[in-house]
Structure 1
Amino acid sequence: MSSTTAPSHSRAPLHVVQLLGGGSAGTGAHVRSLSAGLVARGVRVTVGASPSAERRYRFTAAGARFVPVPVRTGPAAIALFGALCSDADLVHAHGMRAGLLATFALRRRAIPLVVTWHTRSTVPGVRAQLRRLTEHCVARAASVVLGTTSDLVDRARSRGARDARLAPVALPARRTAEDGPAARDPEPDKIRAELGAVDRPLLITEARLDRSGSLDLLLSAARHWRGLRPQPLLAVAGEGPERGALQRRVDREELPVRLLGGGHDTAALLADADVALLVARWAGRAPLAEEALRRGVPLVATAVGGVPEVVGDAAVLVPYGDSRALGTAVGVLLGDAERRAVLAEAGRIRAGSWPTEDTTVAQVLSVYDELAAPA
């Protein structure tokens, strides 16, 4: 099937309702990209999401119709979304919360449901049990589950999905300039000067400042950098409820760390970074990792979830939970300019092998064509 023309259906144009739940930044960007690509191919797209998602991603500017839908699953949201789907040929939910809402709203309706699993939760206890039940419900209700990484496909199958397929998404690049030195900030010392890292290595990461444990792991690793000369600076972009507690630890232990808070452009920060860090208990196609490799910024990441599948040999991988291994890996990399250059080139090559937005839309459209075609 050509990716430049709309498929032939008994009802034209095909009407697809995209549903976005809470969603991460990567999920929202994917829905926006997918909506634009589908509209360009003659598909009528309606996006149901929170008003804040529309303000951030501007689905209407991509040619889609936008309808505000409460992100919480409840009777009002189920009724609203059910009405929204009254003339839909197919519903595509993104994320577990959206998948559950669609499952309830489409009950006893002969409308195909596609659910993309972009990520997974690592919360423990009762919430983990509830998440498992939700995954079972959504997996069994979906006509097709699309997993962005192989481990998510395996997880969907283990939860009872009748049809689970690998469908890596293309996260749009944060800037349109080509990767490499030409894409760097025209004032390369400006950010370094603002952060106090003109004459020292700059490490960049982004993370929510909460009790997930990843920030504690990073701060523990930072202890290993205090003796390096010049001493590197770790800049953390992100906000969260534990910022105060984390800042107190930074001050108490005199760690070379700056908590930048929210509102910082991670792409701009990466333009001046010597090394990028992705530290997570689980991650799939993490925007930080993809942006770092596109830009040729050496990456140190935890070997979890879909990360090894995404980065291949173009990053240094360490086990999650081992702060010594993380600290040592960063220290060794900072002391080896040749290794950093090799990783920079490998990252750009790896990024060139990822699916494009066009191939992503074509793959998803082929699934729609399969499900919505007349029997």
Structure 2
Amino acid sequence: MRILLVRPTASGGLAAHVDQELALLRAAGREVAEAPVTIRERPDPRTDAATVETLRRLLHGETVPVAVHAHGLRAGALAALGTPRRGGHLLVVTLHNRTIGSRATRAVGAALLRLLARRADVVLAVSPDLAEDARRAGARDVRHAVIPAPERSGAIPSADGAGPIESADGGRAIPPADGQPVPSAASGPSPLEVLVIARLAPQKGLEDLLDAAALLRTPGEGERPVRIRVAGDGPLQEALAARIAAEHLPVELLGRREDVPALLAASDLVVSAARWEGQPVSLQEALRAGRAIVATDAGGTRWVTGDAARLVPVGDPAALAAAIADMREETTRRRAEEASRSRARDLPGAEDLLAQLSQVLAPATVRW
């Protein structure tokens, strides 16, 4: 059965997942193509109408059924309008993100969800809340989407191996950005090195992270100071940098980094303060590296971490700070690292994604 992928204009995790799907399907010998359409983040009547017309034209010209796989809410809704009911074509939609914003924006999102839910043969959801939303909207077949972390060019080091190099102050040496040295902490106990891998955007809860950092700014007598490094870029860069400087917070913005395995090896703890997540790739990588994890119980995070992470409520900086502070204790951290290594063995891989794609895009029973 021929497969037609419909993807929105996107970057980050969604784009990486679609690239991974495309590569896996082609390597498996599937006949797969990308629809020649443009789907912007926000509604655009002209391009949206062109997308629907293009899909209709492509599918009306097919003499055999096609499996259409759309990624994202808007792509799924436009694919629902553009996929004819005649001809036995299948429509599969993967929901990657929650609609946020004003009441009007959320209302539009709900309408798009109802549209795609009533047409889609299968809806794959990256988090339990998205799955429940799809069922309430009328989707007949809703499943847990398999979202494995894409392979990086360098292997992620395991915490089973030798420890990372230490910096001059006794902390772990984070590789510097653009050749610039990373400032050392003051003399005293070595800092607890905390790594956050996140786009600098509202969804990632970085203001909550800075609130937690403020609570951790002054360690008690004999306690390890906390040093938080954030790898990623995004629209909040300037605002976050200004607040960090004004409040003298123990936080450093590293910018966009491609050396995530090295960053993980140089960290004691990985933290996510997100207000919503699908199945965060960064936490999958942290589990595979055997790092202790503190995260908010947001979206599909629990699907990824299981019982391995210390989960705290979304939007609770005090709880986040307390959980980070607990990881100063080496015994607590070592238990968390072992839990991460154990959980990593159960994470899905590329073969699991391919198995799900084969099941939903090339089912044994095809409608002719």
TM more than 0.5: yes
* Residue 205 in structure 1 maps to residue 196 in structure 2: yes
Asked whether the 8 Å contact 1:184–1:271 carries over to 2, the reply is no
The one of 113, 118, 124 equivalent to 1:140 is 118
**1:292 alignment counterpart:** 286
| Structure 1 residues 226 and 40: CA distance shift in structure 2, 3 A | same
Asked whether the 8 Å contact 1:112–1:371 carries over to 2, the reply is no
| Structure 1 residues 42 and 372: CA distance shift in structure 2, 3 A | farther
Q: How far did 1:25 drift?
A: 2.5
Q: Which amino acid aligns with 1:21?
A: P
- Any idea what SS the aligned residue of 1:172 has? coil
Over residues 152-184 of structure 1, what are the superposed CA-to-partner deviations in whole Å (9 max), with x where a residue is unaligned?
222210111122122322222435636514778
The structure with the greater share of residues assigned to helix is 1
Alignment of 1:116-155 (within 5 A): 116-155=94-133
Q: How far did 1:23 drift?
A: 4.0
- Structure 1 stretch displaced more, 117-126 or 248-257: 117-126
| Structure 1 residues 93 and 138: CA distance shift in structure 2, 3 A | same
**1:94 alignment counterpart:** 71
- With structure 2 as the length reference, what TM-score do the two structures score? 0.84
**1:30 alignment counterpart:** 17
Asked whether the 8 Å contact 1:217–1:321 carries over to 2, the reply is yes
The one of 72, 76, 92 equivalent to 2:50 is 76
Over residues 18-39 of structure 1, what are the superposed CA-to-partner deviations in whole Å (9 max), with x where a residue is unaligned?
1221345222222222222222
- With structure 1 as the length reference, what TM-score do the two structures score? 0.82
**1:227 alignment counterpart:** 218
**Whole-Å separation in 2 of the counterparts to 1:140 and 1:342:** 46
Q: Which amino acid aligns with 1:241?
A: P
**2:299 alignment counterpart:** 305
**Whole-Å separation in 2 of the counterparts to 1:224 and 1:321:** 14
**1:325 alignment counterpart:** 319
- Any idea what SS the aligned residue of 1:300 has? strand
| Structure 1 residues 150 and 121: CA distance shift in structure 2, 3 A | same
Q: How far did 1:188 drift?
A: 6.8
| Structure 1 residues 21 and 372: CA distance shift in structure 2, 3 A | farther
**2:44 alignment counterpart:** none
Asked whether the 8 Å contact 2:149–2:285 carries over to 1, the reply is no
Q: Which amino acid aligns with 1:132?
A: A
Q: Which amino acid aligns with 1:137?
A: L
Asked whether the 8 Å contact 1:18–1:47 carries over to 2, the reply is yes
Once the two structures are aligned, what percentage of the paired residues are identical?
35
**1:355 alignment counterpart:** 348
Asked whether the 8 Å contact 2:124–2:144 carries over to 1, the reply is yes
**2:336 alignment counterpart:** 343
Q: How far did 1:357 drift?
A: 1.1
**Whole-Å separation in 2 of the counterparts to 1:212 and 1:363:** 28
**Whole-Å separation in 1 of the counterparts to 2:10 and 2:163:** 29
Q: Which amino acid aligns with 1:25?
A: G
Structure 1: runs of 5 or more not aligned: 1-13, 49-66
Work out the number of aligned pairs and report it. 342
Q: How far did 1:264 drift?
A: 4.7
Q: How far did 1:92 drift?
A: 0.5
Over residues 311-341 of structure 1, what are the superposed CA-to-partner deviations in whole Å (9 max), with x where a residue is unaligned?
11101110011111111110111x2111211
**Whole-Å separation in 2 of the counterparts to 1:211 and 1:373:** 43
Q: Which amino acid aligns with 2:205?
A: S
Q: How far did 1:305 drift?
A: 1.5
Asked whether the 8 Å contact 1:22–1:97 carries over to 2, the reply is no
**Whole-Å separation in 2 of the counterparts to 1:211 and 1:359:** 31
- Structure 1 stretch displaced more, 218-227 or 181-190: 181-190
**Whole-Å separation in 2 of the counterparts to 1:211 and 1:236:** 14
- Any idea what SS the aligned residue of 2:249 has? coil
* Residue 47 in structure 1 maps to residue 34 in structure 2: yes
**Whole-Å separation in 2 of the counterparts to 1:112 and 1:369:** 9
**Whole-Å separation in 2 of the counterparts to 1:102 and 1:185:** 49
Asked whether the 8 Å contact 1:184–1:272 carries over to 2, the reply is no
- Any idea what SS the aligned residue of 1:70 has? coil
Structure 2: runs of 5 or more not aligned: 41-46, 168-172
- Any idea what SS the aligned residue of 1:180 has? coil
Q: Which amino acid aligns with 1:70?
A: T
